[in-house]
Amino acid sequence: MRLLRLAKILGVALRFGLDEFVLAQSRFRALRPLVAVLTFWRRIERPRAQRLRLALEALGPMFVKFGQVLSTRRDLLPADIADELARLQDRVPPFSSDLVLRTLQRVYGRPAAEVFSEFDPTPIASASVAQVHLATLPDGTAVAVKVLRPGIATVIAHDIALLHAGASLLELLWADGRRLRPHAVVREFERHLEDELDLTREAANASQLRRNFTGSPLLLVPEVYWDYCSAEVMVMQRMHGTPVSQVARLREQGVDIPRLARAGVEIFFTQVFRHGFFHADMHPGNILVDAGGRYIALDFGIMGTLNELDKSYLAQNFVAFFRRDYRRVAEVHVESGWAPHDTRVDEFETAIRAVCEPIFDRPLKDISFGKVLLRLFQTSRRFNIEIQPQLVLLQKTLLNIEGLGRDLDPELDLWVTAKPYLERWLAEQVGLRGLLRRVREEAPQWGVWLPQLPRLVYHALSREDRSEQLLRELARIAREQRRQTRLLGAAALLLAAMLVLLLLALLP
């Protein structure tokens, strides 16, 4: 089956003349006569950009997603290709209405006409994995109904298998292949694609994001109607807004575009560092803007998560970078384990400075993060830094954010916008507020654990089996008790010091 899929990929590439992208390179020009003989049967009339888009659509969802990511990189792509690939955001050919109605019949056990008071069989949006129809619930609530493409799981499984084969080839033929951990990266994408294929997971993602931004003046997230959701169908609140890519229309509506661009940066950093849960598919086709200038998030199939350690190291990296403290950037890489422990920090610092210094004090229109990331990649290869699979989605989202910000406000100063937010977040984590927050978080666990300690010790001492494992467990409990005691003591001392200072300030 993999060979058949590979043959299809090669066949589609030849049919749409994609070999021209390869043969344009000087090292492959000698192959042009041979390819011309082998493809004498084809007639190429469409422009190259249109042929590329059609080929990606013919190859299915994995390749459509690849085109969606590429479409945001206008600084790296020719204008004709970027414009054509942008059509992949929301113009993927839909599947038939008959298949949609059949899916709804199977899921609900009755016709769509009996489930919804109104249902429009013509989709308003068609994406790589599912498409969306407008409907009305029996109580009059206007909703959007997302329906999974029939048979899509099988297609994606074959594409993932090919990606794993490509990862093996990468490790075999390229010296840096193993360091890049391509199989781990593919598995990370596979996990998130599996989430996209289960719409109940997407519905749960939407609910979580909505809860995180309840009352936010920056971001709206549709409500999910769980009684109508299943693995193949998701029903959510119908949202009204203008696509974020239609900047001229937003201006006509009176939306403050520079403010909108700054809000996008704040939303991103809020998701990543405050919640550790972020929308990882933020291409323009998934974002609307309401009349009040608030973002509306759509399509929650791919979400990223970061643990506390990842968030801390990332925030330290960003803040040090914004301060141009390249030595601290190098130290954080070593401390986090991303760089080998024997890395020469001074040499790594110099290499990072050479990459990053030229881009400061420039507006977004004059910066290409794609090129910066390429140079950072070359630097990481020199210092044997491993690619972190859990950060791959974050890197992809950063590129999407850059493309969005570039379209909205080329004059946006990313550093000025992001630096105060990150510094404030770090202060909350490592300052007194961070200490008190952690004490509050740990206190319930202490309340459960501490009363049990005498009983655990009694049972441990009364048992005949005094094995080394039991002694190690008692030692661990004692160490944990000492740690918690020190933490409580430190908190008490800090609070006492604050009270003393306050009293001194009040004395005449």
Catalytic residues: 281
Tally Cβ neighbours within 10 Å of residue 425.
21
Q: Outline where DSSP puts E strands in 387-459.
A: none
Q: Round to whole Å and give the CA distance between 135 and 142.
A: 6
Q: Round to whole Å and give the CA distance between 41 and 295.
A: 49
Q: Round to whole Å and give the CA distance between 321 and 277.
A: 23
Q: Round to whole Å and give the CA distance between 242 and 285.
A: 11
402: left (phi > 0), else alpha (psi -120 to 50), else beta? alpha
Tell which residue, 150, 156, 138, 63, has the closest CA to residue 101. 150
Q: Round to whole Å and give the CA distance between 154 and 342.
A: 45
Q: Round to whole Å and give the CA distance between 162 and 157.
A: 9
Residue 296 β-bridge partners: 220, 288
Helix (H) or strand (E) holding 171: helix 152-173
- What lies within 8 Å, CB to CB, of 259 at 6+ separation is 293
Q: Is 297 helix (H, G, I), strand (E, B) or coil?
A: strand
Tally Cβ neighbours within 10 Å of residue 181.
18
211-214 contacts, C-beta under 8 A, 24 or more apart? 212/271, 212/275, 212/277
Is residue 364 within 8 Å of 410, Cβ to Cβ?
A: yes
Residue 243 β-bridge partners: 288
Checking DSSP bridges between strand 295-297 and strand 219-220, what pairing results, if any?
parallel
Residue 463 β-bridge partners: none
